[in-house]
Structure 1
Amino acid sequence: MRKFMPQPGFVVQAYRYALDPSATTRQMMFSHCGAARASFNWAVTWVEASWWQRRAEESYGVPEDGLTHWRPWSLPALRKVFNEAKKIDPRFAGWWEENSKEAYSTGLANAAAAFDNYAKSKQGKRKGKRVGMPRRKSKHRARLACRFTTGTIRVEADRRHVTLPRLGTIRTHESTRKLERRVSNGTARILSATIRYERGRWFVSFQVEVKRELERVARPQVAVGVDLGVKVLAVMADSLGEIRCIPNPAHYDTALKTLGRMSRRVCRRQGPDRRTGQKPSKRWLKANTERNRVHHRVAHLRADALHKLTTTITSEYGTVVVEDLNVAGMLRNRRLARKIADAGFGEIRRQITYKTKRNGCRTVVASRWYPSSKTCSDCGAVKAKLPLHVRVFDCDSCPLVMDRDENAARNLAALAAACMTGTGVAGDQDARAPKPRGADRKTRVTRPSRKAEAGRAGGTRLPHQQQKETRDRTQTKALTLW
């Protein structure tokens, strides 16, 4: 799939709507998504066949010149070969004409992207975890999705129907007024549409090129620090000294009792068993649907609450400071994993990042090692240790006593002021704040041994004491920059 470059003054965004398809249309949508999965599996098998053939030939001592040629995995090459193979391949004979060509292009494009990611990851050109070889998608576990880039893709004038290639006109569960009004005014152009089955419903997402002006925030000169937590979802402290606390709705914890009761009901029914071929009973399907409905409601409530929170922040402040939290590492804590996942720390940062760009504001990302909770927001002294169960910050150098989350939010707000005044990162969008401790990792704090205390009492300084004093002077010098 080619990438669309928006024109000056235009941005590419998505409009997502729930669908209410008829039984016939629903069956056609399942067929299109199955066709995308089948073409993906064909591409993976076709490309990897040459890899295994070359490996077998190398084991027999075949020279490099005599090995089977590598099969290309670019999208144009896959399309060309697939269009010839689908007419003679028994896996597609008799039914491939029932679906739009876009369904097969979706699977081929996904396969090409998967092979590109694997190659770049193996060469060290891709960030993140190592990506393995593409694998075939299972019929039982694959996500159902199909993308349309050509053909009749439009939003009807009645604002309650959409038209897609081969699927025809489908009724939407909600009004499409926002998108239809922009398209009719000429301020938006639909680039593609993607149907997806998730959470028990069918959705359609339109990729739209929209003419959007910068939305002016209420207080562009004010910076705010956002400290995320579990007991309190977010504590916001702005540069004017105002403090706001957003309570954690804890949607999943609220629904745990209901989910437990419904899960026990599902366990008492006769469920599916792929090993023995046992099919689920109708009572199991009904109970499982009721349980899934609760899960879907929790997910929708969480998404709605996070969007309202991030929209409130980005529409009011000109600079937003967030922390670079190691969410994946935090989820390894078995005591807090459920609550951290329910809070959605990563989603909050993602939404703040793109919404500040939409409003022309600034996002400052504090370093992962920045001690926002351990630093005194009044005098700047840094505590050596501050356990998580200690919820009140009591400074050792000044009489400040404050809630630790409020203290962290104040430090983040001050970090934004330092970046704007030129002592830190030059307040650009998505700027990363410097490391005030002058280190790329946590400083190891240890208690002085008895031998060190005896040496200090006798007036002699040991080598490790001299190193500690040098490190303290370096940290103090770095902190004075703020």
Structure 2
Amino acid sequence: MQWLKECYSQVLQSTTLNLTKAFKNFFDKVAQYPRFKSYHGKPSCQYPQNCEVVDKGVKVPQIGVIKASIHRLFDGQLKTVTITKTPTQKYYASLLFDTEQETPEVVPRVKVTGVDLGLKDFCITHDGVKTSKYANPRHLKKHEKNLARKQAKLARKKKGAECTAASDLPFNGRSVGGSKSREKARKLLARVHERISNARQDFLHKLSRKIVDDNQVVVVENLNVKGMVRNHNLAKAISDVGWGMFVNFLAYKLEQKGGLLVEIDRWFPSSKTCSNCLHPMSEMPLDVREWTCPSCGTHHDRDENASKNIRAEGIRQLSVLGTRTAAEGGEVRPKGGRKSVLRHSPVNSEAPTIPIG
């Protein structure tokens, strides 16, 4: 542990505070048991104070000025700087500012949309007038063959001797085994995974921004993604689509705008209830994409019908909570309540991130 003495003291203190907070959340039943963070994962360090943004980059204690490409700044006090190293050997600095912004009031003219998340189409939205479908980009499937080639190449590489010299130690200060050719193959594989991740986040950010800009209230289902991925036939597709990340993006974008995100119960029968006469079907298998209501004779597209029912249920919940709204517009006065403990605050997920080096 000799290398710990070379580390800035407040970085170590910040790590201890994070661990304390993680165990406190666990005992308060707000989060799961803290997971072990491997040296081979995504190493990072946090500077809680004495940092500043300069013309050429970011200045941190003990290191000095680090050259950085700064793409965005905020008016406010810089609280912390978190430096992260990605598997592709890139360094990023996440800057946390205290801007003292107030949550805007809800726009009086309200447009409510229901969002049905799926796999064939990423999501289907209905705003009371029209229904829109957004195709699933299937990011992982586009790079599947390339991933298979890179993974096979990495598997054929042999592990070399461990590096022992102090100058050979990586960013996390730990010696790791591996030959140069194996490390080169690992970086090539990591770049493909990074490309997939960046494409997914770009798609989710753009789509969530479009939906939030066009609506003041968004209604979604509270899906049990963790339970759904236990289905081995759909696990890869569900993990690739990023439903949870999309809902988080919707939540914080609506909060910044003064909008409202409504999550209805996951057991609500949105797919097998007629949106015209509310006739419930006894069963609705996944392979049935279109059906006709036996009561009123209305022909439904499964996903379009679900988005209409989700929207109607969201409006009903708002009225029950004492929030006045209407299908074609009205006033929405959202009441404060306890945030979901199943999802971390999405505000920090899009902290300004700048590449270093």
Structure-2-length-normalised TM-score? 0.80
1:127 positional shift: 3.7
> What's the CA shift string for 1:364-420, capped at 9, x where partnerless?
111111111111111111111000111113212111112111000011122233234
In the alignment, is the contact (CA less than 8 A) between 1:224 and 1:237 conserved in 2?
Answer: yes
* Match of residue 234 from structure 1: 123
- What is residue 291 of structure 1 aligned with on the other side? 189
Kindly indicate whether the alpha-carbon contact (under 8 Å) linking 1:259 and 1:294 is maintained by their aligned counterparts in 2: yes
Alignment CA distance shift 1:272-1:321 (3 Å): farther
Q: CA deviation at 1:106?
A: 2.3
Q: Which amino acid aligns with 1:209?
A: D
Q: Which digits, 9 at most, give the CA deviation of each residue in 1:435-467, with x for residues without a partner? A: xxxxxxxxxxxxxxxxxxxxxxxxxxxxxxxxx
CA distance in 2, matches of 1:245, 1:394: 20
Aligned residue runs from structure 1 range 182-221, under 5 A:
182-183=74-75, 188-200=76-88, 201-212=90-101, 220-221=109-110
Residue in 2 that maps onto 1:171: 67
The one-character-per-residue Cα deviations of 1:328-370 (angstroms, maximum 9, x if unpaired) are 0110011111111111111111111121111111211111111
Greater CA drift, 162-171 or 100-109: 100-109
Distance 2:109 2:191 in 1: 41
Call closer, same or farther: CA 1:102–1:203 in 2, change over 3 Å.
same
Partner of 2:152: 264
Percent same amino acid at aligned positions? 31
Could you say which structure has the higher helix fraction?
A: 1
Q: Quick check: 1:223 aligned with 2:131?
A: no
Q: 1:220/1:291 Cα in 2 relative to 1: closer, same or farther (>3 Å)?
A: farther
Name the aligned partner's letter for residue 207 of structure 1.
L
- In the alignment of these two chains, the number of paired residues is 315
Give matches, 1:101-116, under 5 Å: 101-116=9-24
Shift of 1:316: 1.5
Alignment partner of 1:112: what SS?
Answer: helix
Structure 2 gaps, min length 5: 163-174, 324-333, 339-357
1:308 Cα deviation from its structure 2 partner: 0.8
Structure 1 residue 149, shift from structure 2 partner? 1.3
Say whether 1:426 aligns with 2:322: yes
1:401-412 to 2 correspondences below 5 Å: 401-412=299-310
Higher-Rg structure is 1
2:289 to 376, 391, 399: 391
Displacement of 1:148: 1.0
Alpha-carbon displacement from aligned partner over 1:248-291 (angstroms, at most 9, x marks no partner): 111111000111111122222223699xx994322222122111
Residues in 2 aligned to 1:231 and 1:272: alpha-carbon distance in whole angstroms? 45
Structure 1 431/382 Cα, relative in aligned 2: closer, same or farther at 3 Å? farther
Cα pair distance change 1:258/1:192, threshold 3 Å: same
Q: Distance in 1 between matches of 2:41 and 2:181?
A: 25
Give the SS at the match of 1:147. Answer: strand
Q: List runs of 5+ in structure 1 lacking aligned partners.
A: 1-90, 433-482
Asked if 2 retains the 8 angstrom alpha-carbon contact of 1:252 and 1:298, the reply is: yes
Query: Which whole-Å deviations, capped at 9, do the CAs of 1:110-140 have from their partners, x for residues lacking one?
Result: 332344345x2xxxx31455x37x86x55x4
2-side partners of 1:402 and 1:431: how far apart? 36
CA distance in 1, matches of 2:105, 2:145: 44
Q: Which one has more relative contact order, counting CA pairs under 8 Å at least 6 apart?
A: 2
The whole-number CA distance in structure 2 between the counterparts of 1:189 and 1:386 is 54
